[in-house]
Structure 1
Amino acid sequence: MTDERDRNRPFNSALETGLRSVSLLVAAYPRSFDLQRLVTFDHLVVHTGDVGGPTSLHAAVPMRTAELLVRRGLVERGLLLMVSKGLVSRHVDDSGIVFAAGDFAETFLSSLTSDYIRILVDRAAWVVREFGDLPDADLKARVGEYFEQWIEQFQAPQKSLAGEQ
């Protein structure tokens, strides 16, 4: 289920985003989440340090909150890959299409032993504990506070590119 876009990109491939989704869904089991919540959680699991959590999984690159704008397609491709492998299940409930950890997701995840995966699993558990039970409006408000910081980050380079006035 990998496509041409993933072949030349080591980061944010369907495999990497799929593994992050599996780790989030295993941490949340038996709960299920819709795509939008998983997109938000995917960003949070990578940048936990930005939202008062443990050290971030990935480096603190400038204007990283802009990643939220392109993350949906990446997470969706990752979820579809994991659904095709039986690691994530997809079903419909009252809120729409939701995703949950598949029957073998925890076993699969525990078979991976790299330091990165161990840290990912830890960060995923933190995100689910911190944000998993928030109603959508509260999650949106919390992420919105973070987004305001992004606007400030974006405005500073804009001013410097325009020169002093």
Structure 2
Amino acid sequence: MNIPQIIPPSFNSPLEAAIRAIVILTEIYPCRLDLQEMVKLDHLIVHTKDINGPQSLHPQLPLRNAEILVRRKIVEQGLFLLISKKLVSRVIDDNGIYYEASDYAAPFIASLESTYTAKLTERAIWINNNLLQLDKSSFRSLIEKNFGKWTQEFQPLENSYGVKQ
């Protein structure tokens, strides 16, 4: 009997989320982000046009904001993959659990030659310069405006190293 080989999907898989996460964390280094922030930025980095940024990398599908509800597990799995390869570090302090790029992250990103990675890097720079420079209130307003009722699924932004206070 000939059994077809099952190939795991790459679109919005933990591997793709890991690539997005390492690009974001490398561009904002030495800042750290918690899981909630990583989930939000994972969505925003591929839908930058929604927030008046560069052309989005993923299609502008209707109801795309609902994607954020399934991203948490995928992003978390991607971060664990990066931690297992020592590309990202998990830092635990009195304020919570944060993720930051390791010393190996930038050389790893530099070794990737895909157009997608280059476009992700451009958008991560844009996010760092335009979103992560916002104060907490402005960042929260941006998220609420773009995700509406879906933001109820997330903890409030508190004591972030990635967003100026």
TM-score band w.r.t. shorter chain: 0.7 to 0.9
Matched, 1:46 2:28: no
CA distance in 1, matches of 2:112, 2:83: 18
Note the C-alpha offset of 1:133. Answer: 3.3
Decide which structure has the larger Cα Rg and report it.
Answer: 1
Query: What is the DSSP-based 3-state SS (H/G/I as helix, E as strand, rest coil) of the residue aligned with 1:31?
Result: coil
* Length, aligned pairs only: 145
Name the one with the larger helix percent: 1
CA contact (8 A) 1:87 1:104 kept: yes
Percentage identity across paired residues of the two chains? 43
CA distance in 2, matches of 1:15, 1:43: 15
Taking structure 1 as reference, are residues 103 and 72 closer, same or farther at Cα in structure 2, changes over 3 Å only? same
State the TM-score, normalized to the length of structure 2.
Answer: 0.82
Taking structure 1 as reference, are residues 34 and 7 closer, same or farther at Cα in structure 2, changes over 3 Å only? farther
CA distance in 2, matches of 1:73, 1:135: 27
Taking structure 1 as reference, are residues 94 and 138 closer, same or farther at Cα in structure 2, changes over 3 Å only? farther
Matched, 1:77 2:77: yes
CA contact (8 A) 1:131 1:139 kept: yes
CA distance in 1, matches of 2:77, 2:83: 10
Any unmatched runs of 5+ in structure 2? 1-5, 151-165
CA distance in 1, matches of 2:55, 2:97: 32
Note the C-alpha offset of 1:48. Answer: 0.3
Taking structure 1 as reference, are residues 13 and 68 closer, same or farther at Cα in structure 2, changes over 3 Å only? same
Match of 1:13 in 2: 13
Any unmatched runs of 5+ in structure 1? 1-5, 151-165
CA distance in 1, matches of 2:78, 2:116: 18
CA distance in 1, matches of 2:39, 2:117: 19
Note the C-alpha offset of 1:135. Answer: 4.3
CA RMSD of aligned residues (A): 1.9
Note the C-alpha offset of 1:94. Answer: 3.2
Note the C-alpha offset of 1:148. Answer: 3.8
Query: What is the DSSP-based 3-state SS (H/G/I as helix, E as strand, rest coil) of the residue aligned with 2:92?
Result: strand
CA contact (8 A) 1:57 1:123 kept: no
Residues 8-157 of structure 1 aligned to structure 2 (within 5 Å):
8-148=8-148
CA distance in 2, matches of 1:137, 1:79: 27
CA distance in 1, matches of 2:70, 2:140: 17
Taking structure 1 as reference, are residues 136 and 9 closer, same or farther at Cα in structure 2, changes over 3 Å only? farther
CA distance in 2, matches of 1:96, 1:13: 26
CA distance in 2, matches of 1:43, 1:14: 13
Note the C-alpha offset of 1:134. Answer: 3.3
Letter in 1 for 2:58: H
